């Protein structure tokens, strides 16, 4: 958020109750907006950022409200002790429900949240010790340093202090190591797992985080209302909270406040205006909300907050932005590196690996060995099974049979995130980046395993030294591959060739011993390919082992030490680049045979413009005939 705008908003929040012209009604209204904002903020992280839709957040509000109501009225305990108990109860409930619900995918997840949301709602209304549908009354008001918060103007400051702290903590969390993992859940789970991120764990974390914010809202609500009953914790309120998140901006933390304020204000005013217009008392506001949702989804899919932020930036010319984000990350201690294996020792050994999809054999008993400090090319016509082989090595797919050994470990029995922990990095055939994250953040995601930061430390901004190390490492790798001028550009704004280079930088940030590159030169211009080749050659000299799939035969032949050729899932040749260029089986696979009089001697002359440097006749044909 723009700093000037942030200061303006905080000043308005602080000064509004102090103005004698501010009606008590609007103070009470803002109290409800603040309470709703806490719940919606959790939904922003859960649904907008992580892509996990939940209709059951009102039930967690109910747990917080009923827990403090019962313990303060029946046990006579302090409301502050009741808060701790309510948070503990919510934590357990959310953890259990999350462990069950988050295994679901697609439309089954929101349906699951509806199911347990309804169950908790009816539980509140049918338990006799909770007062059934009459609820619990006589709840004592809160006191802070002897000051009663029974007055709406007094509790206003508690509510909005909690909202501002929650916004600050959520923003800190999203800008941290665990926050990048959470942001990867929506559209990059497979990629995240390949860099060691336990996506199931982070789903549970964000689910519990959202539930705890809802519980806090329920705790304050109970002491503000002085009574609780089941009605505010039903499914209709769960839908309304989700509606607020979408309208305000489902991926913006300040969108939670805008959405809650906009919907509650419209709801209150429409209940007064519409009966006058239509001459009868009916729920016409539901129709208006339905039309509003359609308009938002059609014309403002990012919600209202991004539009307001854009207007403010245009009005102020961007004044007040955090200039630190325009400069490279500060110098920080280098992250520790893995020891490199002895040059010439075996790093990767693939033994008769096979993958069947039903009756289709995609990879047919492939075997090869890659040594330390060696670059191996894996080539073949389109559909030969090269990318499938990559996925078998990195744990994205499980092999039907065979073994994959990396140093002293078997990879074919491990999930992708465990393989990454051992020192295997990769890029993807189809670019897998987080387009709404900056280039720097995308690369820092690759270094996820190299440092450890807890969610609480991240939310409290206590991880700055570790975060500085991760961002510095990301910047170093971006400089290394030639993207140092794009640190704060959104990854989705880069050209395809630059995105492929960005994937390589992200893989390098993981400090791999073995680097697997799937078509790294695709989309690059000739000079960019030369620069990439220089980077890979330097990595080889540093002792890194590289296995690459590539269709540019000139790039492969001039760079690799060893080549394996596949066709229809089977290895048809293996050898040095010179041997592969004259191998009859390879020429047959690419050209369907070759005339005996065809000259296959490498041309040492300089290439004509638009041709590959040093390409032989069959190499040029191979490069052209194998593009996807």
Output phi, psi for 350, to 5 deg.
Answer: -105, 120
pLDDT grade for 448, boundaries at 50, 70 and 90: very high
For residues 243 and 53, give the distance between their C-alpha atoms in angstroms, rounded to a whole number: 11
Average pLDDT over residues 204-233: 97
Radius of gyration of the CA atoms of the chain, in A: 30
- Looking at the chain, the whole-number percentage of residues with pLDDT higher than 90 is 69
Flag whether pLDDT at 614 surpasses 50: no
Q: What is the pLDDT of residues 540-556, one digit of tens each?
A: 998 899 999 998 889 99
Q: Which backbone phi and psi does 331 adopt, to 5 degrees?
A: -60, 140
Q: CA distances (Å), 36 to each of 163, 164, 306, in order?
A: 10, 13, 20
Average pLDDT score over residue span 62-86:
96
Closest by CA to 360, choosing from 390, 378, 383, 394, is 383
Kindly tell me if the per-residue pLDDT of 602 is higher than 70: no
Res 619: pLDDT: 52
Q: Crossing angle of helices 464-481/439-446, nearest 10°?
A: 100
Q: Is the pLDDT of residue 326 over 70?
A: no
274 vs 270: CA distance, rounded Å: 5
- Residues 17, 13: Cα–Cα separation, whole Å: 8
Q: What is the mean pLDDT of residues 435-448?
A: 95
Closest listed residue to residue 204, CA positions, set 106, 103, 95: 95
3-state class (DSSP) for residue 548: strand
- Is residue 229 within 8 A of residue 27, CB to CB? The reply is no
DSSP letter (8 states) at residue 330: P
Name the residue with higher pLDDT: 177 or 627: 177
Domain locations in the chain?
3-321, 346-625
Query: Are 471 and 443 contacting, i.e. CB atoms less than 8 angstroms apart?
Result: no
Helix, strand, coil tally for the chain in percent (to 5): 55, 10, 30
Average pLDDT over the chain, rounded to an integer: 88
d(C-alpha 180, C-alpha 50), whole Å: 10
Find, among 455, 357, 359, 354, the residue nearest to 412 by Cα: 354
Task: Identify the residue with better confidence: 606 or 143.
Answer: 143
pLDDT at residue 605 in the model? 40
- How far lies 566's CA from each of 549, 579, 586, 618, in Å? 11, 15, 9, 17
* Phi (first) and psi of residue 53, to 5 degrees: -80, 130
HSE-CB of 574 using CA atoms within 13 angstroms: 9
Q: What is the pLDDT of residues 403-415, one digit of tens each?
A: 999 998 999 999 9
Query: Are 619 and 559 a contacting pair, CB within 8 Å?
Result: no
State the pLDDT at residue 566: 92
**Any idea which fold 3-321 has?**
ABC transporter involved in vitamin B12 uptake, BtuC (1.10.3470)
Three-state DSSP class for residue 352: strand
Weakest-pLDDT range from 128-137, 562-571, 579-588: 579-588
Q: What SS3 state is found at 458?
A: helix
Length of the chain: 628
Closest Cα partner for 43 from 225, 233, 239, 282? 239
Distance, CA of 621 to CA of 196 (rounded, Å): 39
Euclidean distance between CA atoms 426 and 538, whole angstroms: 17
Q: 588 or 56, which is more confident?
A: 56
- Do the beta carbons of residue 244 and residue 89 sit within 8 Å? no
pTM score of the predicted model: 0.88
Q: Residue 577 in contact with residue 560, Cβ under 8 Å? A: yes
Q: For residues 114 and 56, what is the distance between their CA atoms, to the nearest angstrom?
A: 6
For 220-266, the pLDDT digits (tens) are 999 999 999 999 999 999 999 999 999 999 889 999 999 999 999 98
User: Is residue 156 pLDDT above 70, yes or no?
Assistant: yes
Query: Cα dist. 453→165, 174, 242, 449 in Å?
Result: 20, 13, 30, 10
Which residues make beta-bridge pairs with 356? 361
Going by C-alpha positions, the residue among 103, 436, 35, 58 that lies closest to residue 242 is 58
* CB-neighbour burial class of residue 231 (10 A; exposed 0-12, middle 13-18, buried 19+): middle
Q: pLDDT tens-digit profile of 343-353? A: 889 999 999 99
Give pLDDT tens digits for 280-314.
666 677 777 788 878 887 888 888 898 888 888 78
pLDDT tens digit string along 462-488? 999 999 999 999 999 999 999 999 999
Q: Are 79 and 150 contacting, i.e. CB atoms less than 8 angstroms apart?
A: no
Give the whole-angstrom CA distance, residue 458 versus residue 461.
5
What would the mean pLDDT of 431-449 be, rounded to a whole number? 95
Given the DSSP bridges, would you call strands 401-406 and 346-357 parallel, antiparallel or unpaired? antiparallel
Please report, rounded to a whole number, the percentage of residues in the chain having pLDDT higher than 70.
91
Adjacency order of strands within the sheet including 401-406: 360-371, 346-357, 401-406, 409-410
Element (H, E) at 303: none
**Rounded to an integer, what distance in angstroms lies between the CA atom of residue 98 and that of residue 46?**
12
Q: What are phi and psi of 384, to 5 degrees?
A: -75, -15
Rounded Cα–Cα distance for residues 374 and 427 (Å): 18
Q: Could you tell me whether strands 147-148 and 570-575 are parallel, antiparallel, or unpaired per DSSP bridges?
A: unpaired
DSSP 44: I
What mean pLDDT comes out for the span 511-518? 94
Which pLDDT band, with edges at 50, 70 and 90, does 120 fall under? very high
Q: Which CATH architecture has domain 346-625?
A: 3-Layer(aba) Sandwich (3.40)
User: Which tokens go with 185?
Assistant: 């859940």
Structure confidence at residue 604 (pLDDT)? 39
- H helix count then E strand count, the chain: 24, 14
Q: What pLDDT is stored for residue 319 in this prediction? A: 52
């Amino acid at each position: 958020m723009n700093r000037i705008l942030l200061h303006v908003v905080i000043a308005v929040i602080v000064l509004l109750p102090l103005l004698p012209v501010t009606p008590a009604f609007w103070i009470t209204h803002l109290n409800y907006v603040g309470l709703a904002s806490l719940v919606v903020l959790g939904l922003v992280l859960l649904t907008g950022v992580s892509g996990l839709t939940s209709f059951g957040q009102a039930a967690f509000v109910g747990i917080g409200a009923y827990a403090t109501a019962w313990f303060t009225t029946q046990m006579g305990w302090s409301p502050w002790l009741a808060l701790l108990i309510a948070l503990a109860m919510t934590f357990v409930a959310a953890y259990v429900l999350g462990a069950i619900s988050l295994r679901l995918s697609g439309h089954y997840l929101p349906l699951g949240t509806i199911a347990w949301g309804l169950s908790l709602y009816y539980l509140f209304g049918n338990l006799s010790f909770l007062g059934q549908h009459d609820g619990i009354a006589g709840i004592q008001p809160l006191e802070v340093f002897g000051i009663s918060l029974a007055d709406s103007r007094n509790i206003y400051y508690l509510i909005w202090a909690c909202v501002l702290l929650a916004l600050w903590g959520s923003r800190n969390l999203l800008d941290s190591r665990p926050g990048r993992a959470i942001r990867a859940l929506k559209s990059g789970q497979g990629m995240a797992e390949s860099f060691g991120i336990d996506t199931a764990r982070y789903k549970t974390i964000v689910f519990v985080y959202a539930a705890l914010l809802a519980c806090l809202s329920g705790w304050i609500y109970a002491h503000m209302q002085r009574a609780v009953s089941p009605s505010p914790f039903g499914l209709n309120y769960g839908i309304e909270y989700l509606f607020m998140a979408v309208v305000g901006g489902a991926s913006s933390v300040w969108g939670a406040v805008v959405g809650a304020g906009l919907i509650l204000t419209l709801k209150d005013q429409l209940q007064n205006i519409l009966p006058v217009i239509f001459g009868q008392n009916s729920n016409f506001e539901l129709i208006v909300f339905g039309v509003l949702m359609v308009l938002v989804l059609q014309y403002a899919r990012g919600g209202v907050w991004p539009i307001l932020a854009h207007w403010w930036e245009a009005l102020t010319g961007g004044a007040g932005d955090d200039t630190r984000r325009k400069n490279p990350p500060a110098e920080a201690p280098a992250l520790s590196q893995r020891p490199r294996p002895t040059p010439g020792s075996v790093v990767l050994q693939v033994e008769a690996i096979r993958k069947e999809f039903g009756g289709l054999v995609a990879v047919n008993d492939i075997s090869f060995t890659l040594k330390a400090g060696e670059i191996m090319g894996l080539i073949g016509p389109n559909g030969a099974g090269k990318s499938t082989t990559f996925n078998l090595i990195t744990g994205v797919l499980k092999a039907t049979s065979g073994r994959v050994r990396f140093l002293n470990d078997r990879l074919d029995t491990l999930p992708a995130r465990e393989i990454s922990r051992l020192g295997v990095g990769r890029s993807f055939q189809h670019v897998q980046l987080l387009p709404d994250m900056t280039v720097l953040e995308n690369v820092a995601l690759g270094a996820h395993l190299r440092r450890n930061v807890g969610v609480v430390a991240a939310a409290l901004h206590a991880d700055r030294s570790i975060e500085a190390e991760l961002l510095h490492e990301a910047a170093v790798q971006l400089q290394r591959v030639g993207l140092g001028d794009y640190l704060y550009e959104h990854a989705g704004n880069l050209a395809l060739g630059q995105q492929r280079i960005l994937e390589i930088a992200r893989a390098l940030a993981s400090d791999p011993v073995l680097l697997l590159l799937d078509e790294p030169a695709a989309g690059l211009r000739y000079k960019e390919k030369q620069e990439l080749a220089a980077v890979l050659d330097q990595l080889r000299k540093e002792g890194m082992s590289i296995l690459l799939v590539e269709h540019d035969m000139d790039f492969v032949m001039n760079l690799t030490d060893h080549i394996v050729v596949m066709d229809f899932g089977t290895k048809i040749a293996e050898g040095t680049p010179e041997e592969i260029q004259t191998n009859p089986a390879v020429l047959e696979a690419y050209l369907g045979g070759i005339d005996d009089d065809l000259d296959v001697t490498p041309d040492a002359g300089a290439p004509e413009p638009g041709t590959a440097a040093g390409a032989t006749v069959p190499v040029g044909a191979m490069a052209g005939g194998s593009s996807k």
